[in-house]
């Protein structure tokens, strides 16, 4: 098929390497996060809480060293500079301090600079998945909050010290419990600061908690409200529409039809007006997007299936989608013909000259309205939508241009149209008027 490759463009060049890079970044983020959780625990509780702590250290140093090589390769491949801060953070995270200075566990905190990598990756994902921006915001928020709460809890643990009779896991849990109840401003008061240092620390955590609270109240409701922006906008528009229809006292039956129409458009096109969205694109991209959006009709109309690429491109660019609801008149017999239509979904009925009889029922892939354009005369019959119909409209000017440029299209339309004119009850045979 001449146009089949139009819809099969490879979107991700070098997909394999892309996949490896993404998997590696995901692994490194998991490792950085592990480091961010483990380091303060080891500083406050000692090494024995974490099983195989030395092995974990060795693994992290090894993989972070490999990550430096990977990042250097990526920056060479993409031409983007490595970045001094990121390089310093990567090197600091990769040095095996546990071997060099075994008695200084707080050196592990140097690994936390590598969290800058996580922040950078989050920024990149945000750019790539703008349509999931709100969901991502929520995930990022929970991620940083979890790390912050964990750090605050381990800080409290260090201040309280390890006391006899409690195992380390229980101590950590109690700290976490104190920290969360303070941050969320619940503050049961069953664990209280015992000296000035702890009082100061509690004040800091309380202030952090109030800030968090403000942030949550201000942002989370907006984020959740925006999770389905199209749906939210659709519902708001429907409410506005309802208020308008009631204020203008539009009859209930008509109101129902209007609502049904918007419901149909919402379900089938997510409420978007395609043409307005693609309008701002540069010409090359506009053709590609138009072809893609109109692939349904191009694949349904038998003639288009065998047509040349140039014809398809020309038609895809000028055809405009239009929806009719059941019972709508597309046009009436006798009206001047300004356009022809292709059916993408639904049935249309051609009404005979008596105004009642159904001469023909046209379905997906059929077209109509061509006779008036070819013969420069008024509509030979009325056409009505029998169901919800997704049509594509080709205006007269574009039709004339395409007919003049592509004789095979003219011949096909002409042959179908001639057959229709012969049919009993149809528009009858007439000689085309001279131009």
Classify residue 398 by its DSSP letter. H
| Minimum CB–partner distance for residue 434 and ligand CMP (Å) | 18
Cα-to-chain-centroid distance, residue 283: 23
Q: Starting from the edge strand earliest in sequence, which strands make up the sheet with 339-345, in order?
A: 320-324, 389-395, 339-345, 367-368
- Identify which of residues 242 and 336 has a Cβ nearer to ligand CMP in the complex: 336
Q: Which is nearer to ligand CMP, 298 or 359 (CB)?
A: 359
User: Is residue 64 a contact partner of residue 97, using CB atoms and an 8 Å limit?
Assistant: no
CB of 14 to ligand CMP, least distance (A): 49
CB of 421 to ligand CMP, least distance (A): 7
Tokens of 225: 């409200």
What backbone torsions phi and psi does residue 22 show, to the nearest 5 degrees? Answer: -70, -40
314 versus 349: smaller Cβ distance to ligand CMP: 349
Lookup result for tokens 């191009």: 298
> What residues line the site for ligand CMP (CB under 6 A)?
337, 350, 359-360, 368-372, 379-381, 383, 420, 423, 426-427
Q: Tell me the chain's radius of gyration from C-alpha atoms.
A: 34
Query: Least separation, in Å, of the C-beta of 241 and ligand CMP?
Result: 32
| Contact status, residue 397 vs residue 355, Cβ threshold 8 Å | no
**Shortest Å distance, C-beta 352 to ligand CMP:** 9
- Considering the complex, state which of residue 57 and residue 390 has its C-beta at the smaller distance from ligand CMP: 390
Look at the block and give the residue holding tokens 């309008």: 279
Q: Is 251 helix (H, G, I), strand (E, B) or coil?
A: coil
CB of 24 to ligand CMP, least distance (A): 59
In a 3-state reduction of DSSP, which class is residue 363? coil
The residue (of 313 and 345) whose beta carbon lies closer to ligand CMP is 345
Nearer to ligand CMP by C-beta: 179 or 373?
A: 373
Question: At 323, phi and psi to the nearest 5?
Answer: -110, 140
For ligand CMP, the closer of residues 372 and 389 by Cβ is 372
What are the two backbone dihedrals, phi and then psi, of residue 303, each rounded to the nearest 5 degrees? -65, -40
Min dist CB 293 to ligand CMP, Å, is 25
């Amino acid at each position: 098929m001449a146009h089949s490759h139009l819809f099969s463009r490879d979107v991700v060049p070098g997909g394999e390497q892309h996949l490896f890079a993404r998997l590696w970044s995901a692994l490194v983020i998991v490792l950085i996060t592990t480091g961010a959780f483990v380091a303060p625990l080891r500083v406050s509780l000692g090494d024995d809480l974490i099983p195989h702590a030395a092995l974990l250290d060795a693994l992290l140093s090894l993989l972070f060293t490999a990550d430096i090589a990977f990042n250097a390769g990526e920056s060479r491949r993409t031409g983007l500079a490595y970045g001094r801060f990121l390089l310093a953070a990567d090197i600091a995270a990769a040095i095996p301090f546990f071997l060099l200075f075994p008695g200084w566990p707080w050196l592990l905190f140097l690994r936390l600079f590598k969290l800058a990598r996580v922040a950078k990756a989050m920024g990149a994902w945000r750019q790539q998945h703008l349509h999931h921006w709100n969901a991502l915001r929520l995930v990022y928020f929970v991620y940083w909050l979890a790390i912050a709460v964990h750090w605050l809890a381990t800080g409290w643990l260090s201040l309280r010290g390890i006391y006899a009779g409690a195992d380390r896991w229980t101590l950590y849990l109690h700290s976490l419990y104190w920290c969360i109840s303070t941050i969320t401003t619940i503050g049961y008061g069953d664990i209280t600061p015992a000296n000035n240092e702890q009082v100061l620390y509690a004040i800091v955590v309380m202030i952090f908690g109030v800030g968090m609270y403000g942030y949550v109240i201000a942002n989370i409701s907006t984020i959740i409200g925006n999770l389905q922006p199209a749906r939210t906008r659709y519902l708001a528009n429907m409410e506005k529409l309802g208020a308008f229809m009631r204020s203008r006292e539009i009859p209930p039956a008509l109101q129902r039809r209007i609502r049904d129409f918007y419901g149909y458009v919402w379900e089938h096109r997510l409420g978007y007006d395609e043409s307005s969205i693609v309008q701002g694109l540069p010409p090359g991209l506009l053709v590609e997007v138009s072809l893609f959006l109109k692939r349904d009709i191009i694949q349904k109309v038998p003639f288009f299936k065998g047509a040349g690429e140039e014809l398809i491109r020309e038609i895809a660019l000028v055809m405009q989608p239009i929806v009719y609801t059941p019972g709508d008149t597309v046009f009436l017999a006798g009206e001047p013909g300004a356009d022809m239509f292709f059916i993408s979904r639904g049935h249309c009925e051609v009404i005979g000259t008596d105004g009642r009889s159904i001469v023909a029922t046209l379905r997906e892939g059929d077209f109509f309205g061509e006779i008036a354009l070819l013969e420069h005369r008024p509509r030979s019959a009325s056409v009505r939508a029998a169901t919800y119909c997704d049509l594509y409209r080709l205006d007269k000017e574009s039709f004339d241009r395409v007919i003049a440029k592509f004789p095979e299209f003219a011949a096909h339309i002409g042959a179908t149209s001639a057959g229709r004119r012969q049919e009993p009850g149809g528009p009858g045979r007439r000689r085309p008027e001279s131009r």
